[in-house]
Copies of this chain bind each other. A is one copy, B any other.
């Protein structure tokens, strides 16, 4: 058996003044398209919106998970993408999801951390 091969987890806080921080349906469509494009396998998802139209999403993938929590009142979001390397090296996909998410939200990074785990 091959040894455990750590996967990359990117944790980001970003600022955005775009309307995307209150557009849960738009974010869901964006994530779904990204997951399909990258041949990842979604096993379930949770999307929840709050009275101020901020939202929380966690998406379960066979490769691990993706999450976002938006704070439009602070023009902020916290975002996580973690993909294991069980079937193949998914490092580039983690970075691409991060980059495309930042572009979708027209975002400026506040704090970004990469963890191999």
A residues in contact (CB < 8 Å) with B: 1, 3-4, 9, 11, 13, 43-48, 50, 56-62, 64-65, 67, 69, 71, 73-74, 76, 78, 80, 82, 84, 111, 113, 115, 117
CB-based contact B60/A56 at 8 Å: yes
Q: Are A71 and B111 in contact (CB under 8 A)?
A: no
Q: Of B46, B82, B113, which contacts A46 at CB under 8 A?
A: B46
> How many copies of this chain?
2
A-B contact pairs, 25 of them (CB 8 A): A1-B73, A3-B74, A4-B71, A4-B74, A11-B115, A11-B117, A43-B48, A43-B56, A44-B46, A46-B46, A46-B59, A47-B60, A48-B62, A50-B62, A56-B61, A56-B62, A57-B60, A58-B59, A58-B60, A58-B65, A65-B69, A69-B84, A78-B82, A80-B80, A113-B115
